[in-house]
Chains A and B, each alone.
Chain A
Amino acid sequence: MPKGEALGEFEYLVILAVVRLGANAYGMRVRQEIAERTGRDVTIGAVYATLERLTDKGLLAASMSDPTPERGGRAKRSFTLTGAGMEAANRARQDLVNMLDGLRFPLPGRTS
């Protein structure tokens, strides 16, 4: 696999959040989804930078919606997974499964 094609950890989380949210996947929802499911304090800037990068790589497609009052009259940009994005997500999952195969959890070490 050429360098730059593999998904980073946060990129993978963002892609999974987009898949979970379906048609409702936009910056704020993606941020909330990751924060709620992982407990991470994610910033909107980090989410947008990752969404932008994934769109540039062709793994996500962006579409604009009309401005709405609950957004202070501002437009919304929603994201959907492309075919290449699905392939990348499946490949990342398979890589993870392969690496976890045979390991027992929790790994030994300090638990505190």
Chain B
Amino acid sequence: MKPPGWAQLVLWAVAGENEAEFVAGDLYEEFLLLCAERDRSAASRWYVRQVLRSAGTLLGLRFRSGEAAHLLAAALIAVAMPLLLLDRLWSFVYSHIPLKDGLERAPGFWAANLVCVCACAALCGSLAHSLPRAAGVALAAAVGAGCALWCSAATAPFWWAGLVILAASASSMAVFAWRRPR
């Protein structure tokens, strides 16, 4: 008897190389016990619930446990994606406002960008476990912010783009410094 294949795939995707084998082995062992005690469908439901409820924790553990490349990629994507989505959202909103069409945007748009960048970069910074990794995350966040602004449909003032990029790296470093055990 085997647990649902898609749940196993999710587990391997979120747990990473360091943890997946042990977690999958533990879950499989208990899955077999449950199959014997109850039935296969109940055991499968239990397995899926365990995987889904553990996904966030295991993903955080994966980032903290040494898979630095994933953390850097996550920092880059976590900063760039919301910025690009915000850009698309504002493009849609502006396309529905007569006389407001064009590349110039309200200060509120840029402020929303700044808040979003700081929040996402801070979240990634909180996952960094060492100073070199925090520095890497800060750099990745800055690159992510830069790429997103470069791909944006609106042209940001030059000084503002610089501020967003600086804020991305500064907020991730600030949260790392705040969370670091003393």
Contacts and interface: CB of A to CB of B under 8 A. Distances in A.
Interface of A: 2-4, 26-28, 31-32, 43-46, 48-49, 52, 67, 70-72, 74-77
Interface in B1-52: 19, 21-30, 32, 50
B57 interface: yes
Interface of B: 19, 21-30, 32, 50, 53-58, 60-61, 64-65, 181-182
Nearest to B8: A72
Given A70-B32, A71-B28, A72-B28, 5 more contacts: A45-B55, A45-B57, A45-B58, A48-B54, A48-B57
Contact of B61 (A48, A70, A77): A48
20 contacts: A4-B181, A26-B26, A27-B23, A28-B26, A28-B30, A31-B26, A31-B30, A44-B27, A45-B57, A46-B57, A48-B19, A48-B22, A48-B57, A49-B60, A67-B25, A70-B29, A72-B24, A72-B25, A72-B28, A77-B22
A35 B151 CA distance: 50
A28 to B, nearest CB: 4
Nearest to A26: B26
A25 B90 CA distance: 54
A74 B56 CA distance: 23
Contacts of B57: 43, 45-46, 48-49
Contacts of A49: 57-58, 60-61
B22 A45 contact: no
A105 to B, nearest CB: 32
A45 B58 CA distance: 6
A3 B56 CA distance: 26
A49 B23 CA distance: 11
Interface centre among A74, A75, A76 (most CB of B within 10 A): A74
Contact of B50 (A43, A67, A71, A72): A43
Ranked 8 nearest A-B pairs via Cβ: A45-B54, A74-B25, A45-B57, A28-B26, A71-B25, A4-B181, A27-B26, A72-B28
A32 B37 CA distance: 15
